[in-house]
Amino acid sequence: MATASPTPAPAAGTERAPLLEVSDLSVTYAAARPVRAVRGVSFTLDRGQTLGVAGESGSGKTTMALALLRLLPSAARIEGSVRFQGEELTTAKWGRLRAVRWDGASVVFQGAMGALNPVRTIGWQIREAIVQHERGATGVRRRIEELLDSVGIPARRYEAYPHELSGGQRQRAMIAMALACRPDLIIADEPTTALDVIVQGQVLELLSGLVRESGIGMIMISHDLSVLADTCGSLAVMYAGEIVEHGPSRELVREPRHPYTGALAAAFPTIGDPESRLAPSGLPGDPPDASLVLPGCPFAPRCPVVMDECTSAEIELWESDPAHPERRSACLRVLGDAPETAAGRPTAGFVANAASSAGSATNPSRDPLSGHRAEEPLR
């Protein structure tokens, strides 16, 4: 699949490797019928940038994120290239990889609240992360208190056990732990799942602030397209292990070019519109079996605007918006000269209609960016 890179070329003489460069990354889990969980994913992320990754359950988001740092079980085979600050990680030695996992890039895991050790204090757990990776580190207690403070946990809670903290505080403690070794990249997998909307807003604001103020890069995974659009500069939408659309988040959510993004963007209720909360939000059908080789477009069996050639054509991430050349969509319909694509380049209306005929909660008058969950605080 083609690379969708939002990174501008550096001036001559000032070249330095991007923070993260992922090329043609694929992951297959060994099984009686091997599971092709990630298929040919490519993207670039630089310092100070935030990439949101969206997609239905099982689309390969977590597998892709864990593959970046080779955190997958041994049954997973990784192909392709992951370059972190210019260094290839898919073939790096374990010692080097271990160092990168803490000093260079940290992960806030999906379901992180259960990842804390219940019999150790929060302070002790963060201290472990630091001393394991910075031998002879001094002033650690003070540093941890500052870290806790920076994520909105009073420094005096250093001695608190996980069960003594609220869910939001535990999640923020995980973020503090991820920040402990001053990483350049944070990968946050569903960091706000299971948090109430107020705490969700606080955690998202915290993560966005870190990117703004420290210039680190962040990959954030979520089912919630509107949360990602609010928090991330660019967005990658995954379907059946592939990136099917990639580009600046607000444009991508406001005017989807891929029918699947259109359906995802339409799947959230509109504030002040009770009917939209009752409308079915899913597409008909299920994602394809991850063990199958998928000729043509993987979305074809569910696509409301499928064409005959969609099931056999070679689909790539094509440029799909003249106003945003970095924007790419893996849909034959974005090719004005595609065979028998009389509709030509799809418009927002085209995709909204597509989503609508798929039975999702589309309201043509609504702006998906204001379509947060009704109780969600708007920032």
Ligand X SMILES: Nc1ncnc2c1ncn2[C@@H]1O[C@H](COP(=O)(O)OP(=O)(O)OP(=O)(O)O)[C@@H](O)[C@H]1O
In 3D space, the residue among 51, 44, 47 whose CA is nearest the CA of residue 232 turns out to be 51
User: Residue 333 binds what, of ligand SF4, Mg ion, ligand X, none (CB under 5 to 8 Å, by partner type)?
Assistant: ligand SF4
- Within 52-189, residue ranges assigned H as helices are 61-68, 94-99, 122-133, 140-150, 167-179
**Residues 6+ positions from 123 with CB-CB distance below 8 Å:** 141, 144, 148, 158, 159, 160
Nearer of residues 5 and 62 to ligand X, judged by Cβ: 62
Nearer of residues 303 and 355 to ligand SF4, judged by Cβ: 303
Nearer of residues 290 and 361 to ligand X, judged by Cβ: 290
Tell me the per-residue interface mask from 293 to 332 with ligand SF4, x by CB under 6 A, - otherwise: ----x-xx--x-xxx--x----x---------------xx
Q: Total binding residues for ligand SF4 by CB under 6 A?
A: 14
Residue position matching structure tokens 């699949």: 1
User: Which tokens hold the place of 277?
Assistant: 């909360």
In 3D space, the residue among 337, 361, 362 whose CA is nearest the CA of residue 350 turns out to be 362
Q: Looking at the chain, how many residues does it have?
A: 379
Instruction: Give the whole-angstrom CA distance, residue 179 versus residue 103.
Output: 9
Residue position matching structure tokens 């099931």: 311
Q: How far is the CB of 306 from ligand SF4 (least distance, A)?
A: 4
Instruction: Give the whole-angstrom CA distance, residue 79 versus residue 374.
Output: 42
Tell me the per-residue interface mask from 199 to 238 with ligand SF4, x by CB under 6 A, - otherwise: ----------------------------------------
Cβ 121 vs Cβ 159: under 8 Å? yes
Q: How far is the CB of 189 from Mg ion (least distance, A)?
A: 6
Q: How far is the CB of 201 from ligand X (least distance, A)?
A: 21
Q: How far is the CB of 195 from ligand X (least distance, A)?
A: 16
Instruction: Give the whole-angstrom CA distance, residue 19 versus residue 249.
Output: 20
Question: Near Mg ion by CB under 5 A, which window of 58-66, 159-167, 243-251, 255-263?
Answer: 58-66
Nearer of residues 37 and 351 to ligand X, judged by Cβ: 37
Tell me the per-residue interface mask from 82 to 111 with Mg ion, x by CB under 5 A, - otherwise: ----------------------------x-
User: Residue 332 binds what, of ligand X, ligand SF4, Mg ion, none (CB under 5 to 8 Å, by partner type)?
Assistant: ligand SF4
| Binding region for ligand X (CB under 6 A) | 29, 31, 35, 37, 55, 57-63, 73, 75, 110, 290
62 scored as a contact of Mg ion (CB under 5 A): yes
Q: Mapping DSSP to helix (H, G, I), strand (E, B) and coil, where does residue 81 land?
A: strand
